[in-house]
Amino acid sequence: MLSGNEFVKKLGQENEGLFRASELMVKAYFDSKPSQEELTEHFIGRMVNEKLNMVGVAKAVANADMDTDPEELTMLSKQVLDEAIHFKLVKEVVEHVTGKPVDVAAAVLAEQSKPTAKGASLLSKYGELDDVVLSTYQFIAEGRAERNWDMMAACIEDEFISKRYARIARDEGFHSTIGARKLEKLCSTPEVQSRVESLARQMRQDLYEVCCANSMPTDEARQIFEEAYTH
């Protein structure tokens, strides 16, 4: 059996197909020169995503066991604050693009009504929100987010937007590290490792489909994803 550290390292290597496919679709989307209306819808989706991430992680903090390691609670609480700041930054981006205030409540309702789940709302698909589910999601989803936000920052010519997106990318990398550190502790038995592998397969497929819906699917991205995960 692999050690927790070895298992998480292997899991990280296996995430690369999803990460590369996702960033290629993001690049294709921005290279297509979407209209201002399309960009506004895209940015609103990212804004709502950060809002939902903030709520999802805050629930995990609120529902944590009383004996949870204070260091873990500190890092999760830092992530809640980061997500709140990201929500603020992307809200500023939306208002920068449109030139008017955004109705956040209406935007959240509109996004939630769409068939493709966004952000931490995906967590409801995986059963009870325990440490294994949350840590696996953080490691994979936030790692993918880091790559996507980095790609968006590189593709967007507007400096007001690109600087904010680069800041968000750095934070997402930290959030992925939170998940990795917790998984190293949790994945100490074959049973937990098997469960994480199963969750990872589901999450990669779900996150790929989210990216297909939010960006621009390409044959190259599809081929990379299928080659990585079709066995």
| pLDDT per residue as tens digits for the range 182-223 | 999 999 999 999 999 999 999 999 999 989 988 899 999 999
- The pLDDT assigned to 109 comes to 86
Our count of domains for the chain comes to 1
CATH number at residue 207: 1.20.910.10
Residue 6: count other Cβ atoms within 10 Å of its Cβ: 12
Judged against a pLDDT cut of 50, whether residue 43 lies above it is answered with: yes
Reading the block at residue 180, the tokens are 């990795």
Judged against a pLDDT cut of 50, whether residue 226 lies above it is answered with: yes
Name the pLDDT band for 176 (thresholds 50, 70, 90).
very high
Quick check: helix, strand or coil at residue 63? Answer: coil
| pLDDT per residue as tens digits for the range 51-97 | 988 988 898 889 888 988 898 899 889 999 999 999 999 999 999 99
Query: Exposed/middle/buried for 55, CB within 10 Å: 0-12, 13-18, 19+?
Result: middle
Q: Tokens 């496919």 correspond to what residue?
A: 21
Q: Is the pTM of this model over 0.75?
A: yes
Q: 191-207: string of b/e by CB count within 10 Å (b at 16+)?
A: ebbebbeebbeebbebb
| pLDDT per residue as tens digits for the range 103-139 | 999 988 887 777 654 566 677 788 877 889 989 999 9
Percent of the chain with pLDDT over 70: 97
Say which residue, 222 or 41, is predicted with more confidence: 222
What range does the domain containing 56 cover?
4-229
- The pLDDT assigned to 117 comes to 46
Angle at which helix 159-186 crosses helix 4-14, to 10 degrees, equals 140
- The pLDDT assigned to 12 comes to 97
